[in-house]
Structure 1
Amino acid sequence: MGLSSADTATEAIQLCIFDLRRGQQEGQELDKILFFFPADFPFSRQLSVIGLSEGLITFTRIFSPEVACEVIEADRHTHVFYEAEPDIWMVMIVEKNESEAIWRVDALQKVLKEIHSLFLMFHGSIRALLEKEPAGGLIRSHLYPFIIDYLRDFLFGKKLLLPSFRDCLKERGTVQMLTVSREAAIEVQSLVRLLEGSAGNKPCYSLILFQDLLVSTTLSPVDTISLFTYSILRLTPHALSSGVSSWSYLRKGSTASHVATGSILTHSASVLEQVYGSQDTSHGVDDNYHVARPLQQDRWSKGNDGFLVTDLWGAENGSSTPAAPTIWLQQTEERMYLSAYQYKSLTLILLVPVASILNGDQGVSLVKQQVHENASLKMLKVEEILSKGWGGENAYHVSGYRYLLVDGDRSVSRSSPPGKVTTLTKESLLVLSKVREEVDLEKGQMVGVNAGLEKDLEICIRAKNNAWVIARITKGKEVYMVLERANDTLLYASEAVEKFSNRYCNGAFSLD
């Protein structure tokens, strides 16, 4: 599109949230700004960025009234859009690298979606908070620290590293399942019954993880994804021991992205201080509101009884005892107490409705006691069985293949271990990223034009380094693969995919 970036701010990344229903009267334009990063941008520049975004949204609706604007490519910037809630937009503006495009728009949009889904889980909807306090102070006091805490996971040294082409064998918004034996599955189900029975007659839900993989869930798919994401960000043994999220696209071994962050990073310390600690409310943060900050790093620890503890939710009224953590379920719109228990590599999460516990945190302590008494022996047995069947970090490595499997209907993915992916050349990863862009475009067109219809798709490309890059999509399932073997033919590549499909995917991607 022939859009000029001249009026766009020159910093490498901006992220904003605004409400199209607000600030429509002259002199009230600032009301529409709910969040802006970098927070030290002058309001005139914030309004300029949001005004441009609002204009693009309005303009594109003329040609596509049913499908929201998702991306606008300008001369020097990519504008990524996500309508998180009706008329509430999240926009990320990323400066383009002069030599190559290093990110996928879909991956950046999923960062925005992840921010919103996590915010919903902890604070409820943005619109509900606006209706509760129309002046906007309440929602801003929640959004600013929450998103800044989230972005800390992307800060490496003095660089803010976004998902790049090197992460094209990962998929946000999905869970990674642990494959278990029949014996283990029976024991896990027995443990689930004990866990949920520990709450007495109170309706509750549970989620069980081993390492960073999902073993069992009784939650809806949308709530499972949100809680799974948070668990591996802050709760699993890896997250607790390393002090960093285990769901980062930038895990050990990944090569740094080339996205420069300009003055964002130069002034990052002062910006964060302004957002967190200052009494100045010029950035929209009001210290009169008590706000839980569940995404702060290094604030969960393992207690002597095996339950994880934190003071992120503040203290109980009139005491110094930390308040019990709570979350909101999107499926049922219930507020739930969150209790997490950890034994070695096993993490168990029990959710009990706040409304069903009359005496608050004291009642939560009683439920924990019941869990410990009723299920501790079963936890030990399940952890032992899962450990015996676990193949370690490279358990899902397939020799000769670097792959990503995605089941879109179930929101489940599996991929080659990160350490194996780093053995791929830059050329292979760039080509795979381009292939994924093509698939994203095809899927987007299907949503917009032929919603509900499925389309089979296969792409095979020989890269300049003689690697084969392959994508196959069929019946809601996707496989992406890199075969770095020189001088092999297309027939060999096709047969390699067939062998992989038959052995590891029950023939889901076979052409027969």
Structure 2
Amino acid sequence: MGLSTATTAVSEAIKLCVFDSRRGQQEGQELDKILFFYPADLPFTKQLYIIGLSEGLVTFTRTFSPEAACEVIEAEKHSHVFFEAEPYIYGWFWYSFVVEKNKEVQATWRMDALQKLLKEIHSLFLMFHGPIRLLLEKQPSGEVSRSHLYSFIMDYLSDFLVGKKLQLPSFVDCLKERGTVHMLTIGRDAAIEVQALVRTLDSCIGNALCHSLILFQDLLVSTSLSPEDTTNLFSYAVLRLTPSVLSSSASSWSYLIRGNTVSHVTQHGGNVGNRVIRPLQHGKWSKGKDGFLETDIWGMEASGRVNSTPKIWPFQTEKQMYLYVHQHKSLTLILLVPASSIPNGEQGISIIRQYFLENAYLKIMTVEEKLSKGWGGENAYHVGGYRYLLIDGDRQISRASPPGKVTTLTKESLLAMSKLREKIDLEKSRAKQDGVGEEKEVEVTIRAKNNAWVISRITRRKELYMVLEKANETVLYASDMVEKFSNRYCNGAFSLD
């Protein structure tokens, strides 16, 4: 019998904090160290204790590993997961999960997955708000930084709320990989049309270098951005912009933002009012008559007649860029235009939209038509008889069995895969520290308690994870199934020959 994510019980003993180790060094100023804490209604004494413990752990481990930041500490009762953000001078900003262990609750978090969640939070925050260090330089008291971090992270966590509980990625998500994009495979004719469209989009402002991202449904079709910026924009689009998201009836306000938590931010974090940009709020994007998505998250233009165009900070350009989003049926186009190339404000923005509609619209319709004809639905990439996750580390791309297919796996199979991935994560971490990460090759095949085969193969920055249930009991059978999969769907990348 399959296991649904919604039925997984999760401990409430989860704490997430962001702290600046440079601040709060003098007696009476300890609270200055706290930039964000969840749950916000926890007494300050306990918040300071947890942050002090976290800071002590990362400082102590620096003694033995000066070049590599601490990532995970396993204690008897808690797991501590760390992510070092903006390490311009190491030891500044840290994100930390503190998760209580409870053997009676089948949560079984994989620490690497939790760390990637912390990394995603910070990467998205950078894209919309810029570095935390710059916010603190502009406003040293930290009120602005706390307000931005509080609103942003709480809006992000709203996606993980089940009732009144925060449900983090657990063993049921072991065949998913955060921080990667999912590509749409297209034919030659469609690819030619897509490239013609991309050239039109990227040349929308004379000599200014624009960038674009094209999605069909929830899959990436094309990008002219770096892998890191592509991952960030893809993640945001899937969270808040795609047609499936816009048509959903998701709540636009988490109960966690109300009540005591707001008063806490007012006391220690500043205003959380309309002046704080909240790009992760639900239900704040809508499709206009011309196909462009509109939002009031960024406020209004000086004229007061139209909403301000969003601006983001791509890592690739390190300059602010306008974010335009156009949608045509199942096609979502994201266009980034340098803010410095549009000096005329509202008038310049209108010119961009007009150029887009006059020069790109017919190409958009052609691409939509070709992609729709070749679209096989959400199960288009399902490989019969397999439940798998395929990761390309160089391009930050992953492909996996559809969620509906994964839920047919038993709890025993998913737990076994999650534990296997934990071991692989440890091997990869050791290889990275030894400087042989790219050359590391791993092959593991395990027979689970329910007689399912749980398999992992890693070679040349590519990873394959697979679960075979109701399979032959011999290891030769399992190896043969992987060989067939590798040769047919991975160009032999995981073959042993």
Identify the match of residue 334 of structure 2 among 315, 339, 349. Answer: 349
CA distance in 2, matches of 1:271, 1:285: 17
Supply the distance in 1 between the matched residues of 2:303 and 2:471 (Cα, whole angstroms): 69
Q: Tell me, what secondary structure is at the counterpart of 2:283?
A: coil
Q: Where does residue 18 of structure 2 map in the other structure?
A: 17
- 1:65-464 map, 5 Å: 65-86=66-87, 87-99=92-104, 100=106, 102-244=108-250, 271-274=256-259, 281-286=266-271, 290-464=275-449
Deviation at residue 277 of structure 1 after TM alignment = 5.8
Deviation at 1:276, TM superposition (A): 7.8
Query: Mean alpha-carbon deviation: is it higher for 143-152 or for 95-104?
Result: 95-104
Q: State the distance in 2 between where 1:33 and 1:485 align.
A: 51
- Counterpart of 1:248 in structure 2 is none
**Are the structure 2 counterparts of residues 397 and 207 from structure 1 closer, same or farther at C-alpha, using a change threshold of 3 Å?**
same
**Correspondence for 1:470:** 455
In structure 2, the CA distance between the partners of 1:66 and 1:390, relative to structure 1 (3 Å rule), is same
Task: Give 1:361 shift.
Answer: 3.0
Shift of 1:271: 4.9
Any idea what the Cα deviations from partners look like across 1:13-49, whole Å, max 9, x if unmatched? 1110001111111121111111111111221111111
Contact 1:15–1:91 at 8 Å: present in 2 too? Answer: yes
Return the alpha-carbon distance in structure 2 between the equivalents of residues 289 and 297 of structure 1: 15
| Structure 2 residue identity aligned to 1:30 | L
Structure 1 length-normalised TM: 0.91
Q: For the residues of structure 1 that align with 2:260 and 2:241, how far apart are their CA atoms?
A: 25
Moved over 6 A (4+): none
Q: C-alpha displacement at 1:158, in angstroms?
A: 2.4
Residues in 1 aligned to 2:219 and 2:288: alpha-carbon distance in whole angstroms: 22
* One-letter amino acid of the structure 1 residue matched with residue 454 of structure 2: V
The change in CA–CA distance for 1:160 and 1:11 in structure 2 (over 3 A counts) is closer
Partner Cα distance (1:109, 1:441) in 2: 13
Bigger Cα displacement from structure 2, 345-354 vs 33-42: 33-42
* Residue 486 of structure 1, CA deviation: 4.1
Aligned-residue offset at 1:241: 1.0
Alpha-carbon distance in structure 2 between the residues aligned to 1:310 and 1:358:
21
- 2:191 and 2:382 mapped to 1: Cα distance? 22
One-letter amino acid matched to 1:136: G
Report SS of the residue matched to 1:488. coil
SS of 2:268 mapped into structure 1: coil
The Cα of 1:188 is off from its aligned counterpart by 0.1
Aligned partners of 1:457 and 1:473 also within 8 Å? yes
- Give, in angstroms, the shift of residue 363 of structure 1: 1.2
Gaps of 5+ in 2: 1-10
**Corresponding residue for residue 30 of structure 1:** 31
**What is the CA–CA distance in structure 1 between the aligned matches of 2:241 and 2:438, rounded to whole Å?**
39
C-alpha contact (below 8 Å) 1:144/1:285 kept by paired residues: no
The residue number in structure 2 matching 1:255 is none
Residue 448 of structure 2 aligns to which amino acid in structure 1? A
Q: Which moved more, 1:53-62 or 1:470-479?
A: 53-62
> Alignment identity in percent?
67
CA distance in 1, matches of 2:227, 2:256: 36
Residues 154, 256 of structure 2: 8 Å contact kept:
no
Deviations 1:232-266 (A, max 9, x none): 00001111112459xxxxxxxxxxxxxxxxxxxxx
Residues in 2 aligned to 1:200 and 1:453: alpha-carbon distance in whole angstroms: 41
Query: Do the aligned partners of residues 13 and 115 (structure 1) sit closer, same or farther apart at CA in structure 2, a change above 3 Å counting?
Result: same
1:305-345 CA distance string (max 9 Å, x none): 11111101111225152111111011221101001110111
Given the two structures, how large is their TM-score scaled by the length of structure 2? 0.93
- 8 Å Cα contact 2:69-2:84 kept in structure 1: yes
1:41 equivalent to 2:47? Answer: no
Q: What does the per-residue CA deviation read over 1:375-427, in whole Å, with 9 as the maximum and x for residues that have no partner?
A: 11111110110011111010000000000000011110000000000000100
**Equivalents in 1 of 2:283, 2:115: separation in Å?**
27
1:118-159 deviation line (CA, Å, top 9, x unaligned): 000000011111111111111111101000000001112222
- Counterpart of 1:261 in structure 2 is none
The AA in structure 2 aligned to 1:95 is: E
Give the structure 2 partner of residue 265 of structure 1.
none
Which residue of the partner structure matches residue 3 of structure 1? none
Distance 2:132 2:383 in 1: 43
Distance 1:452 1:278 in 2: 47
Amino acid at match of 2:204: S
| Kept after mapping to 1: 8 A contact 2:454/2:466 | yes
Q: Determine if contact 1:40/1:271 at 8 Å carries over to the other structure.
A: no
CA RMSD for the aligned pairs?
1.9
1:340–1:347 CA contact under 8 A, matched in 2: yes
Q: Which moved more, 1:284-293 or 1:20-29?
A: 284-293
2:478 maps to a residue whose letter is A
AA paired with 2:51?
A: I
After the TM superposition, which of the residue ranges 137-146 and 97-106 deviates more from structure 2?
97-106
Q: Is the 8 A contact 1:279 1:287 kept in 2?
A: no
Distance in 2 of aligned mates of 1:458 and 1:279: 50
